[in-house]
Each structure stands twice: as structure tokens, then as C-alpha cells.
Amino acid sequence: MLSFSLLLPLLAAVFAYQGPAKAPAATASIAPAPAAAPKAAPIPWSATRRLTLADFQGQPTPKDKLAALTAADIKAGAACRDYVFSGTVEATFDPNLSWFRDPKNSTEALLRHEQLHFDITEVYARKLRQKLTVFKVKADCNKLQPAFDNLTRAVYSEWEREESRYDQETNHGLNTAKQGYWERQVQIKLDQLKAYAL
């Protein structure tokens, strides 16, 4: 479905440049559409690999009012094999959907603010891994999906609220005192959950 939705704007652009419909000439040929730029792979969270400006490859839409956007995700999966539960959780950053409005005039402070969004994502990935260690003990493979969905939904909701609170309290990184406070608090949480790092 994502491929289809990306194809529609491309087709609309092609039709817009063709102008009004005309009868095709007998010798007209249809040029192939230019190949789409290859998509960048998601970047897994790492304590040693910080985001760079080059990682933000997406483009804002005219409606976007922010100076930058970080598209981070917690990818979680569960399976039962021979009635033994296993779960996976990974915090990732999507370069294709992440952007800086004006990369040439971006600041280190704004990049740090966006990095912390990704760090908060890792905090909640670790919280989910922590919950999965308890879940694993009592997991019923016959009723796995609803129980796993409920667990992940709760963590995702908490993560979403934390991301919103971070932007509100720091005024999207413009309040430097609050930004520093959040950076320290997130580092403390990462350290407290170190046992659940990948």
C-alpha cells in the first residue's frame, strides 16, 4: 500500500506536466518514468552511533510547521515455536521520513533535540523488552496475539505521551534549560534499563 500511495503523486506530477490531453501523434513514444531514489534502510538505535544531519533525508510538506522531524519507531514481534515464546524489540530511525526544514542553517542544538527523540524511543524499547521478560514466563501460545497486542499498545501509548511532553516542556528544544534537564533524565533512564539494551 505504501508503494501505491507514493506512486499516486508521481503519476499526478506526470499528468500535470503533460498539459491538456491531446490525440497522440503516430510517432510519439512514451519515455520511462525516472527511477525513484533508493530508500535508505532504517537505522537501529546505538549508544555509539549518533544521528547526523545527513541521516535526515525526507522532505517536509508545505503544511509542516516544525523546523525538523524525527521518524522513530519501536518494531516489536512475537512468536511461539514448539510452545516456547520469543519476542523481539528494536528502536529504529527512518531516514526517509525524517527531515530538517533548512539543513544549511540547522544548529547543533536542534540536532541534539532530534537525537533525544530517538533516545526516548530506545528508553521505551527497553521498557518493552523488560516487560517481555515477565510476559515470556506466563505467555500462553494459544492466546498470544491479543495478550501481546495489549502489552505493546500500553507501552506505545506511554511512549507517545512522553514524546509529546518532551516537545511541550522543551518548546521543541528552544528552552535550553529544559532541554538539558531532559537530556540528563533520558540518560538516567537508559542507564537504569541497561540490562535491556541490545
Task: For residue 84, tell me if it sits in a domain.
Answer: yes
Identify whether 143 is part of a domain.
yes
Within-domain flag for 53: yes
Q: Is residue 32 part of a domain?
A: no
Residue 27 pLDDT > 90, yes or no? no
The answer to whether residue 10 is domain-embedded is no
Locus of grid cell 525516472: 34
Average pLDDT over residues 73-79: 95
Q: Which domain holds residue 152?
A: 40-196
Mean pLDDT on 46-54: 97
Q: How confident is residue 38, by pLDDT bands cut at 50, 70 and 90? A: confident
Indicate if the pLDDT at residue 21 is higher than 50.
Answer: no
The answer to the question of residue 90 being in a domain is: yes
65-68: which pairs have CB atoms within 8 A and are 24 or more residues apart? Answer: 66/101, 66/172, 67/100, 67/101, 67/102, 67/106, 67/110, 67/172, 68/98, 68/99, 68/100, 68/101, 68/106, 68/110, 68/113, 68/114
